[in-house]
Structure 1
Amino acid sequence: MLLLAVLLALAAPVTAPAAQAAEGDAPSVTLSKKEAGKGGELTVKGGGWRSEALLMLLICGRSTPERGVIGGTNSCANADGRAVTTDKRGSFSKKLPVAEPPEPCPCVVHVAAVTGEQALVDTVFAVAGHPTAPLPPPADEGRLAVLATTRLEGESSLLTWFGAPPARRLVFTVGNLGSEPVEDPVFEIGTAHGVYAPQWEERQWSGTVAPGGKAQIKLPVGLSAGAHGDYQVSLRYGTKVLAEQPWGVSRPWGVPLFWVLLCLVVPAAVFRIGMAAVDKARPRPAGPAARHAHRTRTPATQAPPTPAVLPWFTQDSAPSEKRRSAPPENRPPPTTKGQAWTRNGG
């Protein structure tokens, strides 16, 4: 027992800090190369991520670690991206092909969590031979703030009940807290479903918010066809999330109803068409109606009736009228054997 207590005492200071360090580590990413040309390959390694989390790896242009990916994933080479799942310790290692993003460099390797809590890391990477351009001036993110509660306007139509994409308008009021006017601000609308990270889309508002002034802004929000369930709509300006709004989308019950009716109506219609075709093609027997129509023909077209001949009589064997009407006195007397002998002198 004394030996066991000594072993536990020696192991406790080692294991406890290690577990605490693992829990407090921030997500990190390291690259096997800092520069490579199109068609090459680099290895991306990471640690400190959530265990068994799904990550997305992309090469993005017009991006820096300080300002993030300007323009969202539209600035990334999405077709050549890769996905990886972290292990139980939150680490991963994945090979990523080098591709040219649609926007000029500066470029980064963008690693972001697809499910669960939002987390991302951008690491500087140079695509050899890809054009470069200066970044646009940063927006004054601290000057706009949401002053009122956001809400979603709009209702579902009959087409939405049959699977059409749901659509709403996000209504919010912003105020300019700075000393300079904000012209045509660009917001980002993100929609998230369940544990998945939001998918961001840019929405530009045309107008100017004067210093100390406020403005009501309405931005369209849409989902994919057939979407249903609980969604979360987020509003972001620059890298700052200004507001979040829940959105419950009802299930499009018209879609299963349509398929049920289709499975019932189509077989019934095919059966009726088939029965009508069979009834039209089968031969018709000569019934009472056909015989009645034959009797009512005109004399010019009517054939003379043929007398029925009994099968047990023929023309020669039938008794004649003359034989039946002959008188008895004209018949010859019957001859016998005795009378014939007297007549001959016997």
Structure 2
Amino acid sequence: MGWAARVFRSGGAARAFVLLLAVALAFVLVVPAAPAAQAAVRDDADRPGVELSAEEAGKGGDVTVSGDGWPGKALLMLLICGQAEGEAEPVGGTNACANADGRAVTTDGDGTFRKKLPVAEPPVACPCVVRVATVTGEKAAAQAAFTVAGHPVKEIPEQPAGGKLAVLASTRLEGSSNILTWFGAPASRTLVLTVGNLGSAPVKDPVFKVGTAHGVFAPQWEEQQWRGTLAPGRKAQVELPVQLAPGAYGDYVVSLRYGGKVLAEQPWDVGRPWGVTLFWILLCLVVPAAVFRIGLAVVDRVRPRTARAGAQHAWRVRELAKSRLPRGRAGRTDEAAARATAAHGTTAALPWFTPDSAPGAPGAPHRLSAPQEDRPTAPGKGNT
């Protein structure tokens, strides 16, 4: 310890020690910050970019759009949008873009692309941009200024200053399907999220836009107003109903937009309405059976009347024979009546009469009753 005391008692050594300590401290603080700065520069260099082959073109022409820094093998959508300037999103979102004339392109493995885009007039006035955004994968967007020759130009409306809403917690969809949804009724949910006012002025009765998108199609927006006042620095839970068209199914994305910016997106997997499929299967089975029954009834109606009359007469003959003859001869009578009917058509006579000796026929003998064959004969008396 004596040598340390002698060093500190010397003024030059103390100054050297302090200087050395300062250099070491600066090295510790500065060196770790260098990689972060390099990373920031690298992030700016890898930011998605868009380049155009021309800055102006008229309707009916085309412009070649190229870019780099995009995710590899990502699906991009190219649109010409109005009421947009710089890096800000178009006022009105995708409703301000010429969606019908957009083009889709897939990036290469290194994140580059090149695609021709037909020039079309957006539904709103310019200033216009060519906007490129990812459809699948990591969310990214970029745009470049473009002039549509002959299209009107208007100033971008100023956004109202004051309150600024932001989503503070993850969104979710609450609710479930019922038996009616299984048969094609509209599927409905409630979008629940927590928003906070990050601005300096209160927000009263904000109007949100809720959109539902299916696949690569643009969302269909619907305005919904939330009743209440949100003071600066306060938060509140917002619940907004969401409903799809009848019979809709598949993968949907529910989006929430406020003040021209998309605040949240929530996926929604809608099941297939199998009850509708079951209904069509039953309909395909029941209708042919009903048509077959109706056809049989029509054929029976248009059948010749003589055939029906003959069948009815033969049935009457068999029934009358059964009622007149003893029980043991009923079976033989049925066979005799059937043979007689087959031989003489529908005019067969009763089994125990000949055609000219039936009761009521001309020249037929009058009998009070039929003889009984089994009656015993008295002894010593013959037949009289």
TM range (shorter): 0.5 to 0.7
Aligned in 2, Cα 1:89/1:250: closer, same or farther, shift over 3 Å? same
Whether 1:199 aligns to 2:222 is no
Counterpart Cα distance in 2 of 1:171 and 1:246: 13
Counterpart Cα distance in 2 of 1:197 and 1:142: 31
Matching of residues 129-278 of structure 1 within 5 Å = 129-138=150-159, 143-146=164-167, 150-189=171-210, 191=212, 199=219, 201=221, 203-205=223-225, 207=227, 208-228=229-249, 231-238=252-259, 242-245=263-266, 247-278=268-299
Compare the two structures and name the one with the higher helix fraction. Answer: 2
Aligned in 2, Cα 1:177/1:92: closer, same or farther, shift over 3 Å? closer
Compare the two structures and name the one with the higher strand fraction. Answer: 1
Counterpart Cα distance in 2 of 1:141 and 1:83: 38
Matching of residues 31-50 of structure 1 within 5 Å = 31-50=52-71
> After the TM superposition, which of the residue ranges 171-180 and 102-111 deviates more from structure 2?
171-180
Aligned in 2, Cα 1:165/1:185: closer, same or farther, shift over 3 Å? same
Say which SS state the counterpart of residue 60 (structure 1) adopts: strand
Counterpart Cα distance in 1 of 2:218 and 2:150: 33
- Per-residue CA shift, 1:245-298, capped at 9, x if unaligned? 4544333111221121112111111111112222222233444643759xxxxx
Q: Indicate conservation of the 8 Å contact 1:113/1:197, yes or no.
A: no
Q: Show the counterpart of 1:301.
A: none
Gaps of 5+ in 2: 1-41, 318-348, 357-384
Counterpart Cα distance in 2 of 1:267 and 1:287: 32
Whether 1:85 aligns to 2:112 is no
The amino acid across from 1:70 in the alignment is V
Over the matched positions of the two proteins, sequence identity in percent amounts to: 63
Counterpart Cα distance in 1 of 2:242 and 2:86: 29
Whether 1:112 aligns to 2:133 is yes
Aligned in 2, Cα 1:181/1:137: closer, same or farther, shift over 3 Å? farther
1:103 deviation in Å?
0.8
Counterpart Cα distance in 2 of 1:251 and 1:161: 8
Q: Indicate conservation of the 8 Å contact 1:116/1:197, yes or no.
A: no
Gaps of 5+ in 1: 1-20, 294-304, 310-346
Normalising by structure 2, what TM-score? 0.61
2:119 counterpart (84, 98, 103): 98
- Per-residue CA shift, 1:164-204, capped at 9, x if unaligned? 3322221334332332122453434455678x698363534
Normalising by structure 1, what TM-score? 0.67
Q: Indicate conservation of the 8 Å contact 1:71/1:202, yes or no.
A: no
1:49 deviation in Å?
2.4
Question: Could you say what the CA RMSD is over the residues aligned between the two structures, in angstroms?
Answer: 3.8
